[in-house]
Structure 1
Amino acid sequence: MDRRFRSLVAVTTAFVFATILLGVATKSYGAGLACQARWPVCDGGILNLFPESFPSFFEWIHRVVAGVGGLFIVGTALEAWRRDVAPKIRNALIVGALLTPLQVLLGQQTVVNFTFPILTAHFWTAFTIFGAFAFALVASWADAIHTPQLKGAAVLALLLFPVQVLLTPPFISSYTPVLQTLQYAVLLVLVLSVIALVVVGRRAFPAAYRTAPVVAIVALVPTVYLGRHLLAGSTIHRIVYLLAGLVVFGALVGSAIGTWRSADPAH
């Protein structure tokens, strides 16, 4: 595959990553409504296009990065359609592009209609777009990922998952904006690592370990969902969260064992 296209996918994925973290930071610092509930303009400068305070600057920068990232998302999908790209990569990029207008609408609604369902939909749409582009990124660079890189991904996932859990509100005394942003940064890198194990590792794993990364990525979804609501959740809610987390961790252990017993996926 053309290296320039693969680099384009990598840059776009980085934009999606940065947009999500800036969104989390903006919300956690309470700057989401700093532009006086105006969208897409802000609260100062020519035609109210620019910020007049630091909180509104925070929100404004998030919108700028999201706008540039959106252009990259659509452009990457169009480039994949134009080129001779593997269908699974092209389809993943198209899914991300098709979800982008919805994400823009939800972003607008977080400003003018700041409600919990809107915030939840906004997060999960962003999470799905990131997952689609992370899949495309790994799939497009698959021929450059060998056993040492897979082992690194497995170890990284094993280390990051407990960290991600420990950064949830029940395990820390003060859920500060910095810790909240760090939690989501850890989560996104964790997702990327597990996707690498799913896409590249499974074809090299011994048969007994091939389902492990799939179980990990599937069980991670309810873990993330439940983790976002732990503070207001019931005891049953927390028990289910714990059980789902144990499933994820066990599957990650199985994936790590699979990487040590696998053949080089490049062969």
Structure 2
Amino acid sequence: MSTDSHTSRPVLRPLIERFGFPHLLAMTLVLVAATILLGVAAKATGSGLACEQNWPLCDAGPYNLFPSNLPSFYEWFHRFVAMFAGVAIIGTAVAAVRLPNIDTRVAALVVAGMILTPVQVVLGRETVTQYTMDILSLHFWTAVLIFVLFVVATVRVWAPRLTAGYVTGALALGAVSLPFHVALSPLVIGDITTYRPSLQMAQYGVTLALLAAVIVAGMIGRRRFESARLTGLLSGTAALALLVVFVGRRAVMTYSPLLDDLYIAAAGLLLVSFLAGIWLTRVTPSEATDTRSP
């Protein structure tokens, strides 16, 4: 009987070899986004309070597998997905450091995300055991920072495959998302109906879409276009998007008329910036080849 070679090879190739690092990174980004949105759902429904300051277990029986009611299920499911996101973040960071062909800047970004992950876990525990607005805000913004780090890393990895059309598409996504961000805010929706958990999840989903859109547009725009006017506009668009997200969040938390006015003004400027960017990408010649780093 032959003792040839096939027995020396593993039957199942490792995940990183089967799908590649770019796909692993994209999958991790999706899990991070899902964790954020489920966290919003848990907060909006007061589900963390259903656990009566118990962490990491709640009221879900052995190994937390049987939530006793719907609020407990929200919190349990949030923690369940967050566990997988944490494992994926660590795995992606280890792969980025160990694989020889990964850009050191990408590795630095995902390692930074990995370092922030235990901080985020501790803050998540504190939202259950203490539930103060300051801790809740820190928990949210740390999650957003991890999301941004992974978006930037993902765009860097996928950048050679992203053409100038993706810049226009990202700006169009931002232009479409922004009116929904305003319409779903308490400033507008509060005059029509209550700010229900489903509406809060929808607005924060739009928030993540806005952040991803300006990051893709800015990074790929610098890579594909040489126009200083366009790249400057894209940088300003990113700054405006951050202002809209920050002020929008503060307006939700404090219900300040001044913040409401600033939010509407910033959102109006951002929409003009998105539309101007779309026009410029259509009239500005793009690079036929791509040799620069984003």
TM-score, scaled relative to structure 2: 0.85
* Residue in 1 that maps onto 2:281: 259
> Does structure 2 retain, via aligned residues, the 8 Å contact 1:223–1:244?
yes
Aligned residues: 266
Letter in 2 for 1:228: R
Report the Cα distance in structure 1 between the residues aligned to 2:153 and 2:181, rounded to whole angstroms. 24
Q: Kindly indicate whether residue 199 of structure 2 is the aligned counterpart of residue 175 of structure 1.
A: no
Task: Determine the C-alpha separation between the residues in 1 that align with 2:85 and 2:265.
Answer: 36
Alpha-carbon distance, 1:158 to partner = 1.0
Output one character per residue of 1:195-230: Cα deviation in whole Å (capped at 9) or x when no partner.
111111123232211122221222222221221232
For 1:180-219, what aligned pairs fall within 5 Å after superposition? Answer: 180-205=200-225, 206-219=227-240
Gaps of 5+ in 2: 1-16
Q: CA deviation at 1:29?
A: 1.6
Equivalent residue, structure 2, for 1:100: 117
- The answer (yes or no) to whether the contact 1:42–1:50 under 8 Å persists in 2 is no
CA distance in 2, matches of 1:265, 1:123: 40
Structure 1 stretches of at least 4 aligned residues deviating more than 6 Å after TM superposition: none
Displacement, 1:90? 1.4
Identity %: 38
Which amino acid in 2 is paired with 1:224? V
Q: Kindly provide the amino acid, as one letter, of the partner of residue 35 in structure 2.
A: T
RMSD (Å), alpha carbons:
1.8
In the alignment, which residue of structure 2 is the partner of 1:54?
70
Counterpart pick for 2:241 among 220, 229, 237: 220
From the CA coordinates, give the structure whose radius of gyration is larger.
2
Q: Given the alignment, which residue of 258, 266, 269 partners 1:247? A: 269
2:250 corresponding residue in structure 1? 229
Deviations along 1:208-253, one digit per CA (max 9) or x if unpaired, are 1112222122222222122123253433322322332233223322
Matched, 1:4 2:26: no
Q: 1:256 to 1:48 in 2, by over 3 A?
A: closer
Q: Does the CA contact (< 8 Å) of 2:163 and 2:224 recur in 1?
A: no
Pairwise CA distance, 1:265: 6.4
| TM-score of the superposed pair, with normalisation by structure 1 | 0.93
Hey, what's the Cα distance between the residues in 2 that align with 1:253 and 1:87? 35
Q: Which runs of 5+ in 1 are unaligned?
A: none
Q: Determine if contact 1:146/1:266 at 8 Å carries over to the other structure.
A: no
What does residue 6 of structure 2 align with?
A: none
Q: Deviations over 1:164-185 (max 9, x none)?
A: 1221101112211111101111
Measure the CA separation in 2 of the matches of 1:265 and 1:241: 39
Mean CA deviation greater in 92-101 or 125-134: 92-101
**Preserved contact between residue 169 and residue 175 of structure 1 (Cα < 8 Å):** yes
Distance in 1, matches of 2:244 and 2:204, equals 13
Is the Cα–Cα contact under 8 Å of residues 184 and 200 in structure 2 kept in the other structure? yes
Deviation at residue 49 of structure 1 after TM alignment: 6.0
Contact 1:202–1:211 at 8 Å: present in 2 too?
no
Secondary structure, in 3 states, of the residue corresponding to 1:203?
Answer: helix
Aligned counterparts of 1:108 and 1:6: Cα–Cα separation in 2: 31
